[in-house]
Amino acid sequence: MNEMSTSDSERRPIEVVKAINGLEKVVLREIQGSSVEIYLYGAHVTSWKNEQGEELLFLSSKAIFKPPKPIRGGIPICFPQFSNLGSLEAHGFARNRLWGFDDDPPPFPVDAANKVFTDLILRPTKEDFKIWPHSFEYRLRIALGPGANLMMTSRIRNTNTDGKPFTFTFAYHTYFSVSDISEVRVEGLETLDYLDNCKKRERFTEQGDSITFEESEVDKIYLSTPTKIAVMDHEKKRTFVIRKEGLPDAVVWNPWEKKSKAMVDFGDEEYKHMLCVEAATVEKPITLKPGEEWRGRQQLSIVSKKLDS
Ligand code: TA6
């Protein structure tokens, strides 16, 4: 990755449109035909399509596009708290806040191939300060490259002026669209330790084979995983590859039948067509002193053949 900026002349234009319930949405289109859609509400990616125009992310048909309800599906951002690991609402507040455009982002290591991107920024409101008394700047670059490569880079800086550090956990809570959950395998998490959210976060060690899904909810936090994980959809002959930096853990979630029925913004049968595999940092929360910055990046891509081990 070379340190240079994509000149404005090279950069492809982005579209900003009024979408569901008047919420603003950014549309990135890559020259070969792939696209990404991002709501400023939550800096939430709700669509990622390949060059054939096929949707790669799951978005519930019952998703609610109305603050403060988070959008069900796509890629919610969990910050400054993953799940209920703290006193804040589940998964923190970044996913149900209105983000702005970052017109003057600090220099950024870019991949020259990614000519279409947008820079978004979140700073705390007075209300946020009451529940999480810290100043921060969260800069997010979402870039789309050839082959429908989707790159998401988060830079979180502690801007406290009272000398106080802050600590957070984080996840890109990606909902992949799959043909049939019973046809899906996840590779790259074999033999790893994980915390089982269905068993009071007890610690277990995963078996030696790739992970498959049958009969019940799966909600596991895999610890210190490889930087590359594959989600293989045999029926669609499609493999999603997740590459991650600064995000040692990975969460795997499928609500299965019972929990699907319990969620108002999720269809009873929709668990059959989605799988969450989330690049995360959970086990070892990140602590930043004033002036310090953390970076967490995920790259999502699609390959048609099996991932070389
Ligand atoms: O990432 C998995 C998880 O933490 C599950 O425990 C489940 O609750 C899921 O997230 C969805 O959470 P949400 O708050 O969006 O309903």
Edge-to-edge strand list for the sheet holding 15-18: 15-18, 24-29, 35-39, 44-49
273 catalytic per annotation: no
pLDDT at 307 over 70: no
At residue 8 the predicted structure's pLDDT band, cuts being 50, 70 and 90, is low
pLDDT at 309: 44
pLDDT at 118 over 80: yes
DSSP string across 195-231:
EEGGGTTEEEE--SSPB---SS-EEEEE-S--SEEEE
- Per the prediction, the chain carries an average pLDDT of 94
Question: Which is catalytic among the residues 91, 173, 187, 270?
Answer: 173
Residue whose tokens read 């234009």: 13
pLDDT at 121: 98
Chain segment 13-57, per-residue pLDDT in tens: 789 999 999 999 999 999 999 999 999 999 999 999 999 999 999
Strands (E), 76-165: 77-78, 100-101, 116-122, 136-145, 149-158
Whether the Cβ atoms of residue 129 and residue 119 lie closer than 8 Å to each other = no
pLDDT at 13: 78
Tell which residue, 119, 76, 123, 78, has the closest CA to residue 98: 123
At residue 246 the predicted structure's pLDDT band, cuts being 50, 70 and 90, is very high
Q: Average pLDDT for residues 140-160, to the nearest whole number?
A: 96
Pocket test for ligand 1, best of 60, 83, 249, 261 (most atoms within 8 A of CB): 83
Buried-state track 183-219, b at ≥16 Cβ within 10 A, e below 16: ebbbbbbeebebbebeeeeeeeebeeeebebeeebbb
pLDDT at 110 over 70: no
pLDDT at 2: 43
Tell which residue, 176, 169, 163, has the closest CA to residue 50: 176
Protein residues with CB under 6 Å of any ligand 1 atom? 70, 83, 90-91, 173, 197, 219, 251, 253, 276, 278
* The two three-digit tokens of residue 126, written as one number: 């007075």
pLDDT at 308: 46
pLDDT at 12: 74
Tell which residue, 25, 253, 222, has the closest CA to residue 118: 25
Residue nearest to atom 4 of ligand 1 (CA): 83
Q: Average pLDDT for residues 46-75, to the nearest whole number?
A: 98
pLDDT at 284 over 80: yes
- Whether the upstream peptide bond of residue 80 has omega within 30° of 0, thus cis, is yes
Distance CA 274, CA 277 (A): 10
* pTM greater than 0.75: yes
For residue 69, the SS3 value is coil
* The two three-digit tokens of residue 133, written as one number: 């008394």
Range with lowest mean pLDDT among 55-59, 152-156, 303-307:
303-307
Edge-to-edge strand list for the sheet holding 116-122: 100-101, 116-122, 136-145, 149-158, 293-303, 238-245, 228-233, 184-187
4 vs 45, residue with greater confidence: 45
pLDDT at 4: 44
Range with lowest mean pLDDT among 10-24, 100-114, 287-301:
100-114
At residue 109 the predicted structure's pLDDT band, cuts being 50, 70 and 90, is low
Q: How far is the CA of 251 from the centre of ligand 1 (A)?
A: 10
DSSP string across 22-49:
G-EEEEEE-TTS-EEEEETBTTEEEEEE
Report CA dihedral (112, 113, 118, 121) to the nearest 10 degrees.
-50
Q: To the nearest whole percent, how much of the chain has pLDDT over 70?
A: 93
pLDDT at 66 over 90: yes
Sign of the dihedral defined by the CA atoms of residues 153, 87, 216, 221, in that order: positive
